[in-house]
Amino acid sequence: MKNRITFFVLSGIFLLSGCTYIQRARRADELEAENANLKYRITELQKEKVNAIERVAEQKDKELSELEKAKLELEESLKKEIGEYKAKLSMTERGLVITFVSEVFFNSGKDKVKQDGKSALQKVGEVLNKDVPSSDVAVEGYTDNDPIRHSGWKSNWELSSARALAVLHYLVDACKIKPQRLSANGYGEFRPVAPNDSEQNKQKNRRVEIVILPSKVSKVKAN
């Protein structure tokens, strides 16, 4: 009787051990499958990351190519203004910046675009429509720190804003730039590029900048 009980006990122990072994084996198979799935997913995510980086790089190269092409076109069309130090082009983190001294567009204290200024803006407008049609454009007005004395403007802020808007309206009305691509800001005397300690430096600060933004910036802005 005692031997029979021992047999059943041992049989039960072996049976439980067998079940435990089977469960562990199944769990090991499940973990191995999960591990394989995780490795596959990690590989796929790495591929997606590489593809995303490549797409960003391609887009950046395309945008840079567009802006570089626009810069070359403007260097040729604005050769006279650049040669006379009335305009300059610079590639920055913001985009392609076209800087004009205010005297190209305006008489002192005025916000009406002069004929010479219209000619320069026509050249810019052609490039905006032909070479960078998907890019937004920021028009910015700046002044020196001389206070308003003889004109009717309240301050240099109003004058710089009015000049930026005058350029914007000419680009829309005469150059047929889509208005949704454009924005205008006036910064007055508060973002100088040179000390206001000489007439030459003050002329540098009296300026209008037309900034061609990379197309990806335009899309983010639109969203």
**Dihedral of CA 87/88/89/92: which sign?**
negative
Using CA atoms, how far apart are residues 63 and 47, in angstroms rounded to an integer? 24
**Dihedral of CA 123/99/178/128: which sign?**
positive
- pLDDT of res. 1: 59
- pLDDT of res. 23: 72
Q: Where are the alpha helices (DSSP H) in 145-194?
A: 156-173
Residue 210 has pLDDT above 80, yes or no: yes
Tokens encoding 104 = 């190209």
* Three-state secondary structure call for residue 95: coil
Displacement of CA 123 from its chain's centroid (Å): 23
pTM for this structure? 0.71
Q: Cα–Cα–Cα angle for 143, 73, 69, nearest 5°?
A: 105
How confident is residue 36, by pLDDT bands cut at 50, 70 and 90?
confident
What is the pLDDT of the chain when averaged over all its residues? Answer: 86
* pLDDT tens string 129-153: 999 999 999 999 999 999 998 888 9
Beta strands in 12-152 (DSSP E): 87-91, 96-101, 137-142
Q: Are 100 and 86 in contact (CB under 8 A)?
A: yes
Q: Are 212 and 96 in contact (CB under 8 A)?
A: yes
Using CA atoms, how far apart are residues 166 and 207, in angstroms rounded to an integer? 13
40-49, 63-72, 195-204: which is most confident: 195-204
- pLDDT of res. 150: 84
Using CA atoms, how far apart are residues 77 and 115, in angstroms rounded to an integer? 16
Q: Which amino acid is at 119?
A: S
Residues 6+ apart with CB under 8 A from 88: 82, 98, 99
Tokens encoding 122 = 């026509």
Displacement of CA 155 from its chain's centroid (Å): 31
209, containing H or E segment: strand 207-212
Domains and CATH numbers, the chain: 65-222 (3.30.1330.60)
The pairing of strands 207-212 and 96-101 is: antiparallel
| 211-to-15, 135, 149, 179 alpha-carbon distances in Å | 81, 10, 30, 15
